[in-house]
Amino acid sequence: MSSTDPTTIGVHRALHEALNSAREARHRLDDGNAAPDLDDLVELGTLLAALSESVMAVNSEMMAKARLARGSNT
């Protein structure tokens, strides 16, 4: 399923970036380099914050649509 909704696209991108970061960290761990780089931790924190923000936006939009739907049914 494909969507052109900017919030959906933002969530998808944030999830994709977080997955890539997790894969890179896993490769480093497997290679014996388990010490996290501070820049990597900051980047991952930033990605998680963006993901959280996007999820909250989707949730707010869904709640607003539900309220409108309830209002039009009365």
Residue 36's pLDDT is: 66
Question: Is 13 part of a structural domain of the chain?
Answer: yes
Work out the end-to-end distance of the chain between its first and last CA atoms, rounded to an integer number of angstroms: 32
Q: Is residue 26 part of a domain?
A: yes
pTM: 0.51
Does residue 1 fall inside a structural domain? no
Does residue 2 or residue 21 have the better pLDDT?
21
At 1 the pLDDT is 46
**How large is the average pLDDT for residues 55-68?**
86
The upper half-sphere exposure of residue 42, i.e. CA atoms within 13 Å in the direction of its Cβ, equals 3
Does any domain span residue 67?
yes
> For the chain, how many structural domains are there in total?
1
Please indicate, yes or no, if residue 32 is contained in any of the structural domains. Answer: yes
| Residues 17-59: tens digit of each pLDDT | 778 877 887 888 788 876 667 777 788 788 788 878 878 888 8
More confident residue, 72 or 58: 58
